[in-house]
Amino acid sequence: MIGFRGVQRGKPALALALAAACVTGCSNQDHSPAQAVADDALITAQVRAKIAMVDPATVGLVHVTSQRGVVTLSGKVKTAKERTDVENAARGVSGEKALTDDIVVDPTAPTAGEMESDLALSAKIHTALAAQTGINVAEIHVDVHRGVVKLSGELPSAAHREVADQTVRKVPGVVKLVDNITVASH
């Protein structure tokens, strides 16, 4: 009986040990994908920060992803030198296992100065539109690229649309206006 009791006592202890191992193992498995996602997010942020030091405009043109430590760069830059500089900056981040460079050299890619000018022009356009009675700036999307302004969204009437167009055309720096605003049908 003593032997039997010992076995009986051992089984619950063994079962408890197995249950603890399973819970710990399951917990580690559940934690591993979450940790990988967090690690990849940190790697991506570090690579983006290093790229920003090459040229602030590049951060908006180059896309960075990381999957299990494998970093992929895509997007476009203006020159081959900039591509090399970005690739070199992206190397050596803690946790990075490999780097894939899919960046395309595009001489038409904007520079930091051009992007800054476009942002400033966009702000001027928003301010001018906001000053117009009856124009709800929240309903209009303004996209500027090298002075070419594209408007989209919806306004209540053709008259509102015309006021928006005239207002934008008067803003210094507007090279061309592309109006994709729709008029609400009531």
Q: 99 or 134: which carries more pLDDT confidence?
A: 99
Domain 112-183 coded CATH 3.20.20.70 = no
The pLDDT tens digits of the residues spanning 106-117 come to: 998 887 788 889
Mean pLDDT of 88-94: 92
Q: With 50 as the cut, is the pLDDT of residue 155 above it? A: yes
Three-state SS letters, the chain: CHHHHHHHHHHHHHHHHHHHHHHHHHHHHHHHHHHHHHHHHHHHHHHHHHHHHHCHHHHHHEEEEEECCEEEEEEEECCHHHHHHHHHHHCCCCCCCEEEEEEEECCCCCCHHHHHHHHHHHHHHHHHHHCCCCCCHHHEEEEEECCEEEEEEEECCHHHHHHHHHHHHCCCCCCEEEEEEEECCC
Average pLDDT, the chain: 83
The pLDDT tens digits of the residues spanning 13-48 come to: 444 444 444 444 444 445 578 888 999 999 999 999
The pLDDT score that the predictor gives to residue 72 is 96
72 neighbors 100 (Cβ within 8 angstroms): yes
Task: Please report the sign of the dihedral spanned by the C-alpha atoms of residue 79, residue 82, residue 84, residue 90.
Answer: negative
The pLDDT score that the predictor gives to residue 186 is 65
What topology is assigned to 2-105 in CATH? GMP Synthetase; Chain A, domain 3 (3.30.300)
Same fold, 2-105 and 112-183: no
Lowest mean pLDDT among 38-42, 157-161, 182-186: 182-186
pTM for the full predicted model: 0.56
The domain locations on the chain are 2-105, 112-183
